[in-house]
Amino acid sequence: MSTSAEGTLSTASVLSLSPLRVAQLTRAWAVEVTAADLARLAAPADAARRLGAGRGYLGETGANTELARMLADRPEDFGAAGQVVLGAEAVEVRSGGRLFADTLHVIGPECIDGLQRLKIIAGMRDHLPEEHLRRSVIRLEIYCGAERDRARRLYDVADRCLNVSTAQDRLIRCPSISRLMRADWEKGDFDPRRGMTTGPHALRFSMAEVTRALACLSADPQPVAAHMAATPEGREALWEECASPLYRSLFHGRMTPVGVMRAVEAWTSAHRALAAVPKKSRQAHGRLVEYAPELICWQACRGLPLRALHDARSSYPWERAIEHDLPAWTVRAARNLVARYEEARPGRHAYHQEAPKLELWLHLTAPDGR
């Protein structure tokens, strides 16, 4: 019977494990153990120092909070995502009667990578039953000798070689986006990373622009999506919550290439008209034109039949309205919203701070002006 990790480390700096699987590879040992087997490894307050970790526990970062939630709610996923990399002076296998090793001794263990994961396991060992922790199978890589030095050196700078995944990258997993990618774009194409290409001149619009355009033409009676889509941070938050009603008001199963192109063309037309507003109209409360352009474009596009945006058979004269009517609607929307802004917030203001706030957008677009 193997001894506990805590007891072994305190006496001989040996970590004893009962692996589910173990294999000696060309440069390392590959081991699978349960989180229960590792629960006490990083429990001491000085675990980072004792294990020679490159950095200490980072606390409740966004990533660590998500890992802790995963271990509590989906232990199988916690083990499937990522691994722990250890260094060791030596590894000893004590085989038993089973097909795989009964006991694995890691002599002089060092945590090269994965201390955050180990600390999360240790921190939750008193809150989760051992049987729960056994549902999480952790992959270990263990390096010895010169390979240990190489692993330490490479993992210290591993972040420089990673292309960190973003919410925009993960859009490709959205069923509505996937359908849109497979749709017939005639002379164009669509990809959530590269954006949209359209028209005979192969004009390209980024995913940020596509999102802002769809938000501008959202049928939602409030400009919440337009406000989120106006900033990089807001777009990331919008893309991240692909199950939210707000996201689905933009990206849904009824999306068509023609609808996306209409949205982009309308958004472009409105912004072009807004850019032509004279500088003298951009003073004082007129700064709304500069600091909240998405609000004005959103308001201008209320004149379009938004619920028919993705209807390829719509009889509405979209091209004529976008090209000839929408610019005038945009100028009128700008004039009305600026006047409403001045009435609602008289006097001088820090416009660059106030104008982009959602609270103001909702106030200015409320039917009763309140």
Interval 339-348: pLDDT, tens: 999 999 999 8
Q: pLDDT (tens digit, 9 = 90+) per residue, 324-336?
A: 999 999 999 999 9
Position 368 scores a pLDDT of 67
The C-alpha angle with vertex 357 and arms to 351 and 361, in degrees rounded to 5, equals 100
* Parallel, antiparallel or unpaired: strands 137-144 and 110-113: unpaired
Helix (H, G, I), strand (E, B) or coil at 60: coil
* Parallel, antiparallel or unpaired: strands 90-94 and 21-24: unpaired
To which H or E segment does residue 14 belong? strand 14-17
Helix (H, G, I), strand (E, B) or coil at 276: coil
Phi, psi dihedral angles at 5 (to 5 degrees): -60, -40
Position 162 scores a pLDDT of 85
State how far the alpha carbon of 275 is from the alpha carbons of 266, 282, 288, 326, 334, in Å.
14, 11, 12, 14, 11
CB-based contact 360:341 (threshold 8 Å): yes
> CB-hemisphere CA count at 13 Å for 167?
15
Question: What span, in angstroms and rounded, lies between the C-alpha atoms of 297 and 295?
Answer: 6
CB-based contact 257:184 (threshold 8 Å): yes
Query: For residue 298, how many other CB atoms are within 10 A of its CB?
Result: 29
Position 20 scores a pLDDT of 93
Helix (H, G, I), strand (E, B) or coil at 366: coil
CB-based contact 361:292 (threshold 8 Å): yes
Write the burial class of residue 137 (CB in 10 Å: 0-12 exposed, 13-18 middle, 19+ buried).
Answer: middle
Q: pLDDT (tens digit, 9 = 90+) per residue, 38-73?
A: 999 999 999 999 999 988 999 999 999 999 999 999
Helix (H, G, I), strand (E, B) or coil at 106: strand
CB-based contact 110:121 (threshold 8 Å): no
Token readout for 85 is: 């990399």
Question: What span, in angstroms and rounded, lies between the C-alpha atoms of 140 and 142?
Answer: 6
Q: Over range 110-119, report the average pLDDT.
A: 96
Question: What span, in angstroms and rounded, lies between the C-alpha atoms of 312 and 257?
Answer: 9
Q: pLDDT (tens digit, 9 = 90+) per residue, 148-182?
A: 999 999 999 988 888 888 999 999 999 999 999 99
CA 358 to chain centroid: 22
